[in-house]
Amino acid sequence: MELKRLNLRTFSGPLDWSVSLSLSDVNRLLKNKFSNFMELENMQLTDGAFAFVDDGVLIEGVQSYLIEDTHYNIISVHDFPIIPHQHWSATYTSYKEKLTNRINRFIEKITTSESVLFIRWAATYEQSLELQAILEQIVKGNFNILILCPEEGFKGVSEINWGIDKVCAVKVPRLPNDLETWNYVLEGITLSSRKQ
């Protein structure tokens, strides 16, 4: 949401509108080139609900099921609307088509763009090192990784010197929607208008 607010995102990627509690799972997903991601046989309903979002637009009054991909431990939080008397999987076909398009667009962008910035909320040094190594194999142009490491009670933004090439890690407050934090860490970053 913050990338869109700051005009730093022009499309939704395959991991937008989802929750992944461990970067290790995302790393495995990238390494496997999204193979078997969100396949119906690996998906299950989990507790809770969020607002339903359709192509980045919040649909007022409609909630969404939380659906977990048990193979990669990634939860879709905005893609499966709660419709009375309808199983959550009723909209799976349209969701999977949208996800496939997002995956293809993501792969096209990371293999054709001159420069790419990957942003991750919460990761360890080891997970970040693994992500950097995986991206070295799949990204064709330059890339950088911004890791935001949330800490309870912390105020401000402080760089963490991990010494990993192409990785910038910063300690931030444990407030994922804090505008001040996002404004600070993304200050000076712009999108290139270069046509691919």
Looking at residues 103-132, what average pLDDT do you find?
A: 96
pLDDT at 122: 97
Distance between CA atoms of 114 and 130, rounded to whole angstroms?
A: 22
User: The pTM is what?
Assistant: 0.90
Contacts of 32 (CB under 8 A, 6+ apart): none
pLDDT at 196: 44
Give percent of the chain above pLDDT 90.
Answer: 80
Looking at residues 91-115, what average pLDDT do you find?
A: 96
Q: Is the pLDDT confidence value at 1 over 70?
A: no
Instruction: Classify residue 53 by its DSSP letter.
Output: E
Give 9's pLDDT tier (boundaries 50, 70, 90).
confident
Q: Is the pLDDT confidence value at 112 over 50?
A: yes
- The overall average pLDDT reported for the chain is 93
Quote the tokens at residue 157: 């933004």
Looking at residues 39-53, what average pLDDT do you find?
A: 90
Half-sphere exposure of 121 (CA within 13 A, CB side): 20
pLDDT at 55: 67
Of 82, 96, 22, nearest in space to 52 by CA = 82
Looking at residues 158-175, what average pLDDT do you find?
A: 97
Domain spans of the chain? 12-112, 114-189
Q: Greater confidence, 122 or 12?
A: 122
